[in-house]
Amino acid sequence: MNFHIVSAVPELLESPLGHSIVKRAVKNELVSIHIHDLRNFGIGANKQIDDYQFGGGAGMVMMVEPLDKCISYIKDSFGDHPVAYMTPDGDRYTQSMANKLSLESGLIIICGHYKGIDQRVRDHLVDYEISIGDYVLSGGEIAASVLVDSISRLIPGVINDASSALTDSFQDDLLAPPVFTRPASYNNWEVPDILLSGHDAKILEWREQMALEHTKKRRPDLLK
């Protein structure tokens, strides 16, 4: 999977994507992450990328031309990948969208800032408009990092234990069951006996039961 992230503040992406599983995936060449500084496609000596909105109103809008040029450059140089725009008024991001996007060979992700991007970019250049939840972030970079992280862990070979990603919450519309590690007893807080029994079939049954109960209690909407 080849990610191309278009950002006006590329520094914001360095830390979330520079550690742990994503870092290892990049090192092992299972995932590549290219960060494109939109300013390099800015207009004029000042490399302008945003302007006041037509019709008046507070807040700057990211201009069509720098985004168009940047997307064309990426498509010409790296392949005609679909374009996702991170925006609070997009489709709500879910595990099934992550699963679907993980099948692409590449993805271009636009991070918005200020008041958003010129609508013509959305109308003519964007394939997916994605929100990570009903709240407003200062920019799309954190949302883009969420996308990259959640998709990367689905790429074969990224997670050592192949079954691990499949047992994550949401993979089967259920939340994950509780997990425990050593010590078996701490402060008289005990690990359920069944998990210490060594009886694989019973443990599996218990986990399924707990996942169901947990989902009923916390996210009944997932069961509908």
Rounded to the nearest whole angstrom, what is the least distance from the CB of residue 135 to ligand ADE in the complex? 5
Residue 195 CB contacts under 8 Å (≥ 6 apart), including other chains = 180, 203, 206
Q: 122 with 149: CB under 8 angstroms?
A: no
Give yes or no for residue 67 binding ligand ADE (CB under 6 A): no
Site string for ligand ADE, 112-151 (x = CB under 6 A): x------------------xxx-xxx--x--x--------
Rounded to the nearest whole angstrom, what is the least distance from the CB of residue 93 to ligand ADE in the complex? 7
Closest to ligand ADE by CB, 112 vs 177, is: 112
Site string for ligand ADE, 75-94 (x = CB under 6 A): -----------xxx------
Site string for ligand ADE, 154-183 (x = CB under 6 A): ------------------------------
Rounded to the nearest whole angstrom, what is the least distance from the CB of residue 6 to ligand ADE in the complex? 13
Closest CA to 9 of 84, 62, 69, 80: 62
As a whole number of angstroms, the distance between CA 33 and CA 140 comes to 16
Instruction: Give 71-113 as a 3 state SS string.
Output: HHHHHHHHCCCCEEEEEEEEEECCHHHHHHHCCCCEEEEEECC
Q: How many residues bind ligand ADE (CB under 6 A)?
A: 12
What residues line the site for ligand ADE (CB under 6 A)?
86-88, 112, 131-133, 135-137, 140, 143
